[in-house]
Amino acid sequence: MKLCSKYQGVIEYKEEDVITFPKGLPGFRDLKKYILFSVEENNTFNMLHSIENLEIGLLVISPFLVAKDYEFNIEDNPLEDLKIENEADVLVLNTVCLNNDIKKATVNLKAPIIINNKEKIGEQLILDDEKYLIKQPLLKEE
């Protein structure tokens, strides 16, 4: 199958690549099916792209590249909903908000996207932890 991404061109994928978000994502509750792929020529960023609406793609990054000590607890309900049995099956991503000035780009560490890579099920959580910001600077100031 093929997806014509507005920014990444034609992306080929298989049915088994589709990640289902049963609850949708905040702001996109009606969109349930996405694919994840690397941003061309950049290993740091990925694109989580809807296959139901070609206009919707979220730039995402591993939170551990931004905050090495990033950690949180997942309550029992999301663990059950995501069918998580093994920590190795879990992928954690956070959305990136770009700006014309790269120094002003931010990462939403308050709302991680949790994906069970084995089952291809995902959910975005909202953390009740004041140490994580919605607009955490992507780059540390020097």
Token pair for residue 53? 């609406």
Look at domain 2-137 and name its CATH class: mainly beta
- What pLDDT was estimated at residue 58? 95
- What pLDDT was estimated at residue 6? 75
d(CA 112, CA 123): 9
Query: 31: buried, middle or exposed (CB in 10 Å: 19+, 13-18, 0-12)?
Result: middle
pTM check: above 0.85: yes
d(CA 54, CA 41): 21
d(CA 50, CA 91): 18
Q: pLDDT tens digits, residue range 71-114?
A: 998 877 787 889 988 889 999 999 999 888 888 999 999 999 99
Domain boundaries, the chain: 2-137
Q: pLDDT tens digits, residue range 44-83?
A: 999 999 999 999 999 999 999 999 999 998 877 787 889 9
d(CA 100, CA 113): 25
Helix (H) or strand (E) holding 93: strand 90-97
